[in-house]
Structure formats: C-alpha cells, structure tokens
C-alpha cells in the first residue's frame, strides 16, 4: 500500500483522556434507542416529517423535520454515508461534501447543523463519485480533533479535519491491495485508529493518525473453530456476495468481525441477507467464531456499524445482528442462525446509534 503525500499533514488525534466523575456527581445519561428512518411525509417548503422506528417499550414515537433532499436522493444531492448520527452528502457537479445532523433524531429542526468540506480531489486513475462509507473519529465533526475519513470505491481513501479554522484540506491515500477496494472503514476508539478489513477477512489495515503515521499497519487474521457447513449451506454461500464489517463494543472492549452473506432474490437486482458469521478478533490476530456475544447487539447498515448493550434498551434483542439496507430489514439470531427478514423500501438505510438527549 503506498501513500501519495508530498508532506506530512499533521492530522493528529489526541490520546483519549480518562475523566473521573466527582464524588456525589451523577453520570447517568438519557439516550435515544438505536433507530432508523421508517417513513417520510411531505410537510411543505422542500421538507419532510421523518418517522423513526425503534424497539423501545413505553417510549414516544420519534418524529422530526428534515430536508427532502437528504431523504430522496436526486441528480444534485446524494447521501453517501453516516457516522455517529451525522449524515454525509455529496453535491454533484460542484463535488462538495457536506456533513449534516438533520437526520439525527435529537438534532434541532429550527437550527440544523451543516458543515461543508472542500471538494475531494481524485488521485490518478481513481474516482470520487462512488463512496463505500464515511467514518468520524469523534462523536461530532465540530470537535477540535475530529477527523472525517471517506473510503471511495477503488484504491482511494481520503481524510481531513473539518474544524481546521476554515483551512480544512483533503489528504489522499492510494491503497495498492485490491482486497480493500470495496471495504468499509471504521474508527476504533480502543486503538485510536482508522481500520479497514480486506475482502475475505484475511487482512485488517490500520492507520495510526495519533502518531502521525500514514503508512498502514497490517494484521493477518487466523481463524479458529470454524463450523463445517452442510452441503446445502455451502451451495448458498457459493452464490452469495460476502461483505466484512469491523465492529467495536464500547461497553466490553471487544472487537468483532462480521461476515454477511447476501444473495439476489427471485431474479430481482436487490440483495438479501442469507447468513451471518461473527468472529471475536484478538489483538494478536486470532479470529474466533462465536454464536454468543452475550448481552450485545450489532447493527449493520449503510452507516458505520456499531454495537450496543441490549439490556440498556428494552425491546432490543441480545445476541443478534440487525441488518438494514435499501430493501431489507433483517434480524439474525446468532444462537441458532435463524433469520427474520422484512422486505420494504428504506429511503435512508442508516441505523442511528444511541444519541444523548439534552433537557
């Protein structure tokens, strides 16, 4: 993997600082449950009312107003990803990339936030119109040290610091190994690195921006306790498209590699999940197959994947993987590998992680 930079961009991410709550202080935080945009109704002035779906019991329905263009992609604006509740859009023609909090269920309707970033610059023989996903190193791009990274389809990975006093600039990395061309990027809070799994799940590449190191480190995975598929399962797997997702649990400190096996349904050019495999990834590269992640639930969508403690959100099923796509909502039970799938059109296929509610 080669780095095409003429100089060091100095996009440091500071080491995390542990803060101890003072004696007698309250550390409880009220949060929204994990949710997604279930529907949208026109409300005039190029805006729509969003109806959010979630599994919480005894909670009011989440409804808010948002720009129509962020829900219904058109020739001018396309949403390209989401991270920590912020949605990224690309303005075609001018190529400007923007970060919005309009779809965030707790964001202000009256004063939504929009951060414009400079147009991405394509590396030679690369493109910046089709995006794999977007990842933020912090909960908000407004934080001083936040870095936003965009993984484009193909060899290019780009990142910048939105809060660079109006002087934000993209820095580009060319990825030589084609196994990373369609992979999805994530930010590891535990390791303070951007990480990306290669196709097939044999390699993980990491960039330590905290040390200002832009040459990636590679970790080779060694798989353990792989189940032997039946002949019928093997036939299905051989016809599936496989995608890999790295997910980090903030509550337990564990890292998971999730493999999703997806297949076209009834000749329709739409993919549907047929199977899921989850592996615990150890620091030394051991990837151990598991059907028990305890009280955790993993959420996979077009947004950056995340994980929550299910018992914190009544109605969320533990030891499950929830999957959301443009024509699919699936619930995969790890214990017995059973899957429940609902087929419906999802306008904004992003799971939003829990958001802090301010009173």
How confident is the model over 193-218, as pLDDT tens digits? 999 999 999 999 998 876 655 678 89
Listed range (225-234, 271-280, 302-311) with the worst mean pLDDT: 225-234
Could you give the CA distance from residue 170 to residue 117 in angstroms, rounded to a whole number? 9
CA distances from 3 to 8, 11, 144, 220, 339 (A): 11, 15, 25, 20, 42
- Strand ranges of the sheet holding 114-117, from the earlier edge strand across to the other edge: 77-83, 86-91, 96-100, 114-117
Domain boundaries along the sequence of the chain: 36-342
- The pLDDT tens digits for 327-340 are 999 999 999 999 99
- Cα–Cα distance, 308 to 357 (Å, whole number): 17
How many Cα atoms sit within 13 Å of 210 on the Cβ side? Answer: 14
Q: 336: burial class by Cβ within 10 Å (0-12, 13-18, 19+)?
A: exposed
Domain spanning 36-342: CATH 1.20.120: no
Which residues partner with 56 through β-bridges? none
Question: What's the rounded mean pLDDT across residues 120-146?
Answer: 93
Q: Give the Cα separation of 282 and 222 in Å (integer).
A: 10
pTM value is 0.90
**Tokens encoding 272:** 């549907």
Q: Which of 98, 69, 96, 68 is nearest to 82 (CA)?
A: 98
SS3 for 64? strand
Instruction: Tell me the per-residue pLDDT of 288-308, one tens digit each, with 9 for 90 and over.
Output: 999 999 999 999 999 999 999
Distance of CA 40 to the CA centre of its chain: 22
């Amino acid at each position: 993997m080669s780095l095409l930079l003429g100089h060091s961009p100095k996009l440091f991410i500071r080491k995390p600082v542990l803060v101890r709550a003072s004696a007698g202080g309250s550390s409880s935080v009220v949060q929204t449950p994990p949710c997604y945009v279930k529907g949208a109704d026109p409300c005039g002035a190029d805006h729509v009312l969003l109806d959010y779906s979630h599994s919480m019991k005894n909670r009011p329905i989440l409804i808010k107003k948002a720009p129509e263009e962020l829900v219904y992609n058109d020739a001018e604006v396309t949403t390209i990803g989401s991270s920590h509740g912020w949605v990224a859009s690309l303005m075609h023609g001018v190529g400007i990339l923007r970060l919005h909090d309009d779809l965030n269920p707790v964001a202000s309707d009256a004063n939504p936030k929009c951060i414009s970033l400079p147009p991405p610059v394509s590396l030679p023989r690369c493109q910046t119109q089709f995006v794999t996903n977007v990842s933020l190193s912090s909960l908000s791009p407004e934080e001083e040290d936040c870095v936003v990274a965009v993984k484009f389809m193909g060899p290019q990975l780009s990142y910048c610091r939105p809060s660079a006093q109006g002087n934000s600039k993209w820095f580009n990395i060319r990825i030589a190994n084609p196994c990373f061309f369609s992979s999805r990027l994530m930010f590891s809070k535990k390791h303070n690195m951007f990480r990306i799994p290669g196709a097939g799940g044999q390699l993980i590449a990491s960039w330590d921006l905290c040390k200002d190191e832009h040459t990636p480190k590679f970790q080779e995975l060694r798989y353990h306790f792989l189940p032997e598929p039946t002949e019928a399962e093997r036939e299905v797997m051989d016809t599936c498209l496989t995608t890999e997702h790295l997910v980090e649990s903030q509550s337990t400190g564990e890292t998971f590699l999730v493999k999703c096996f997806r297949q076209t349904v009834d000749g329709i050019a739409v993919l549907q999940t047929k199977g899921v495999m989850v592996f615990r990834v150890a620091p030394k590269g051991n990837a151990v197959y598991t059907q028990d992640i305890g009280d955790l639930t993993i959420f996979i969508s077009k947004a950056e994947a995340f994980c929550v403690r299910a018992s914190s959100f009544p109605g969320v099923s533990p030891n499950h993987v929830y999957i959301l796509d443009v024509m699919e909502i699936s619930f995969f039970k790890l214990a017995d590998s059973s899957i429940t799938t609902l087929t419906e059109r999802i306008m904004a296929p992003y799971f939003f992680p829990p958001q802090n509610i301010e009173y």
